[in-house]
Chains A and B, each alone.
Chain A
Amino acid sequence: MSTYDSEKVAKLHRELHSHLPSEPALRLKALETVLVEKGFLAADGVDKWLEDYSENVGPMNGAKVIAQAWTDPDYAMRLEQDADAAFVEVVPTAPHNYNLRAVFNTPQVHNLIVCTLCSCYPLGLLGMSPSWYKSAEYRARAVRDPRGVLSEFGTDLLDDVEVKVWDSTSDRRYMVVPSRPAGTDDWSKDDLANLVTRNSMIGTVRDLSPVGGAG
């Protein structure tokens, strides 16, 4: 015959319904609490960061910048010379301290970005990097076998195209500017921006040719 322990049942009930966070989430909550109590973080700092991220940050920022560069040669030159400043011209909310460098694909050159040390990426401009960018496998193979990696993304380069791999660091981030696809001469900047993908700004995708028409 089973025993009935009301206190045990009540405790189990509380645990089931308390929405106790996962262990790492709880640890982070504790860490954040300590930092706030000691004055190293504002009490609403993380919430405000998340709000700003969701409203202002993401690959669409890079896409707008690239569409501008495709349609304005002077802007493209400024982007090549000082990417942080050029980025802010198009995305005024963008931070300007990334020491960002824009590297331009050409018919002869394809650029690929990695961070071999950890996961450096222009987060505040382009949003969080994809999972594979942070993986040990990508970080190792992008340098050792870039053509093999590109092939897994469906990007098969001709032998005469040079691959340049750029290793990001804490004080130097990169963004690939893909080539403007043929047949888009009369497209609006918004339509052009819609062609640009996050992977193309990392360099794992090269061809942005539209499947259908604009709009």
Chain B
Amino acid sequence: MSVCQESTADFTELWHAQVIAVLDLLVKNKQVDPEKWSRALGAELDQRQSDGATDDDANYYDAFLTALGMMLEKSELASRAEVDERESDWRAAYLGTPHGQPVALKN
């Protein structure tokens, strides 16, 4: 594969931009140390490469999200249990909201 193949779009999916935004904001607010983050992302990418993952954007952003989740749990900013619970809440909200209406969590 040639390394120069690329899409011209900055982000192919909205959540790709959003996960970059979350990380960038946490770094700017000094809640995430950029050096620790680089190491964490690098380790996740290396692990995936060893496991034979595809070398593309989809894998990169999945690695990014996984590494971010693990780092935030380790630093006690967001535990896995808390995120699991909110993920379940959002899933229920999406499935329970009629088409065309805004989706929101119930308080």
B43 to chain A, nearest CB (A): 9
Confirm or deny: A136 has a beta carbon within 8 angstroms of a beta carbon on chain B. yes
Interface residues of B in 9-54 (CB under 8 A from A): 10-11, 13-15, 17-22, 24-26, 29, 31, 34-35, 37-39, 41-42, 45, 49
In the complex, what residues of B have CB within 8 A of residue A34's CB?
A: 78, 82-83, 86
Is there an interface contact between B69 and A170, defined as CB atoms closer than 8 Å? no
User: Among the listed B39, B77, B105, which residue makes an inter-chain contact with A33, where contact means beta carbons less than 8 Å apart?
Assistant: B105
A194 to B89, CA, bound (A): 48
A22 to B95, CA, bound (A): 13
Given contacts A26-B91, A131-B6, is CB(A31)–CB(B14) below 8 Å?
A: no
User: Among the listed B57, B62, B78, B99, which residue makes an inter-chain contact with A31, where contact means beta carbons less than 8 Å apart?
Assistant: B78
Is there an interface contact between B62 and A24, defined as CB atoms closer than 8 Å? yes
A80 to chain B, nearest CB (A): 24
In the complex, what residues of B have CB within 8 A of residue A135's CB?
A: 3, 55-56, 60
A110-130 interface bits toward B, Cβ cutoff 8 Å, 1 = contact, 0 = none = 000000011110011001101
B44 to chain A, nearest CB (A): 9
Given contacts A27-B69, A38-B77, is CB(A169)–CB(B91) below 8 Å?
A: no
Confirm or deny: A171 has a beta carbon within 8 angstroms of a beta carbon on chain B. yes
A3 to B75, CA, bound (A): 52
- Ordered by A's residue number, 14 sampled pairs between the chains whose C-beta atoms are within 8 Å are A17-B99, A18-B97, A25-B13, A26-B87, A28-B18, A32-B22, A33-B86, A34-B78, A34-B82, A123-B24, A127-B10, A128-B11, A137-B3, A152-B2
